[in-house]
Structure 1
Amino acid sequence: MEQILADILAPTQIPYPVIFARFCGAILFGALIGIEREQRQRPAGLRTHILVSLASSIFAVIAVESVHMTSLSGPAVRIDPIRVVEAVTAGVAFLAAGLIVFSRGEVKGLTTGAGMWLAGAVGLSVGFGFWLIAAFAACASLAVLFILWRLEVALHWKPPESSEGGADERAAAPRDAAAVSKER
């Protein structure tokens, strides 16, 4: 039983309170990005962005900790933390690509996919301990998603009821169909 407890409470290079603070930071910053996507009624919203950010943070912490593991420090063992970054990038890109749809001659979901990819980068930043980078990235993403969307609406590049053809357009479609059927 002592061996199990020793394994569960294994010493880490990064103190556990710092690790948990990093995870909470990844949750917070991922939530900020996800809230904006949720307000636009996108398929990947609050929970998805939080999960991507938190998972990325966990991978980053594991990468840092694995470099310092005594069982992995022999001359024949090489650990490269950058491979974690590559794996997270590829995995999140795979998820984001699933959100991109080509429908009726238009590409939709690109911004949500990019937001997920950014949430992964934010999570990795927090996981590796780069809090200021993560905070700047989360704030910059909110500026891009919110402020620039408002600018696009003001310039009439996007309709005011939605960005990228969201739920408002889908809700308006049945009324248009009903109006057409009445005209016949």
Structure 2
Amino acid sequence: MRFLQTFQLYDFLDTLVSLLTAFVFGTLIGAERQYRQRSAGLRTNVLVAVGASAFVDLANRLTGAEGSVRVIAYVVSGIGFLGAGAIMKEGRTVRGLNTAATLWASAAVGCCAGADMVAQAALLTVFVLGGNTLLRPLVNAIDRTPIDEHASEASYDVLVSTDSAAIASVREVLLEKLEAASYPVRDTKVVHRPGDIAEIVATLVSQSIEPDELDAVVASLAAQPGVRHATWNNRALE
């Protein structure tokens, strides 16, 4: 019967307001995620917000503001582990970062609600929704903008295919041609292919690569004795 001794109507209503606030704002954030068919949708964001609110409210009831601060610190790190489960790496592509960040923000909304900071929870919800919706056209516009090869740092690979017996001589010619074009080589490696064929890969890093110059180097390499094929490619540095 300890419940009858500890129950306080005012405290109960205050907790109700905190949980209801977290539920409503978590629903707004989750609805946007659900509409876009993200892995962490409506229910997940609601549960994260309500759970964070409940923990912070409980700590506030038991030990006051000091306890709430400690619980908030644990919520921040705990949601980090939850968000890590939404992140997937496929080759060089990383998916789920925005979903994980949204879960983190939902937890922050819940913490504000649990700390009886309803106005702050509402303001944070507006910013989260704005980041996931209003910034989308800007992101799309940036993604469609062609990359300026002179302004972006990239890694360039020059690939030369040759017979395995001619690896040493062809590699020497490759290095000489690149050095003559003022493109110092950072690293070279040999990849053996079926049919006694080897592929020599020379990697150089530069912000001043001229595609036409590199095309000329590759064409010159392709005309060398023992060279079966020569080409080059580039990729953004990670």
How high is the TM-score relative to the length of structure 2?
0.56
Could you say which residue in structure 2 is the equivalent of 1:123? 110
Once the two structures are superposed, the pairs formed by residues 29-44 of structure 1 within 5 Å of their partners are 29-44=25-40
State the percentage of identical aligned residues: 31
Could you say which residue in structure 2 is the equivalent of 1:94? 81
- Three-state SS of the structure 2 residue aligned to 1:80 is helix
Change (3 A) 1:138 1:10: same
State the 1:143 CA deviation.
Answer: 0.5
Query: Structure 2: where are the runs of 5+ without partners?
Result: 145-238
Q: Which has the higher strand share?
A: 2
State the 1:19 CA deviation.
Answer: 1.2
Aligned partners of 2:118, 2:3: CA distance in 1, in Å?
Answer: 31
> Does residue 107 of structure 1 match 2:105?
no
Q: Deviations over 1:81-122 (max 9, x none)?
A: 321011111111110011111113101000000000000010
State the 1:4 CA deviation.
Answer: 4.6
Aligned partners of 1:104, 1:5: CA distance in 2, in Å?
Answer: 55
Aligned partners of 2:56, 2:68: CA distance in 1, in Å?
Answer: 8
User: AA paired with 1:92?
Assistant: I
Could you say which residue in structure 2 is the equivalent of 1:53? 49
- Three-state SS of the structure 2 residue aligned to 1:61 is helix
User: AA paired with 1:54?
Assistant: V
Query: Structure 1: where are the runs of 5+ without partners?
Result: 69-78, 159-184
Once the two structures are superposed, the pairs formed by residues 140-151 of structure 1 within 5 Å of their partners are 140-151=127-138
Answer whether contact 2:60 2:67 (CA < 8 A) is retained.
no
Kindly tell me the number of residue pairs found equivalent between the two proteins. 143
State the 1:18 CA deviation.
Answer: 2.0
Could you list the runs of 4 or more consecutive aligned residues of structure 1 that deviate by over 3 angstroms after TM superposition? none
- Tell which has more relative contact order, 1 or 2 (C-alpha 8 A, sep 6+): 1
Aligned partners of 2:39, 2:59: CA distance in 1, in Å?
Answer: 30
- Three-state SS of the structure 2 residue aligned to 1:42 is coil
Q: Which has the larger radius of gyration?
A: 2
Aligned partners of 1:5, 1:120: CA distance in 2, in Å?
Answer: 29
How high is the TM-score relative to the length of structure 1?
0.72
Aligned partners of 2:68, 2:127: CA distance in 1, in Å?
Answer: 26
> Does residue 26 of structure 1 match 2:12?
no
Select 1:134's aligned residue among 104, 117, 121: 121
- RMSD (Å), alpha carbons: 1.8
State the 1:10 CA deviation.
Answer: 2.3
State the 1:80 CA deviation.
Answer: 3.2
State the 1:51 CA deviation.
Answer: 0.1
Aligned partners of 1:99, 1:142: CA distance in 2, in Å?
Answer: 19
User: AA paired with 1:126?
Assistant: A
User: AA paired with 1:6?
Assistant: L
- Three-state SS of the structure 1 residue aligned to 2:89 is strand
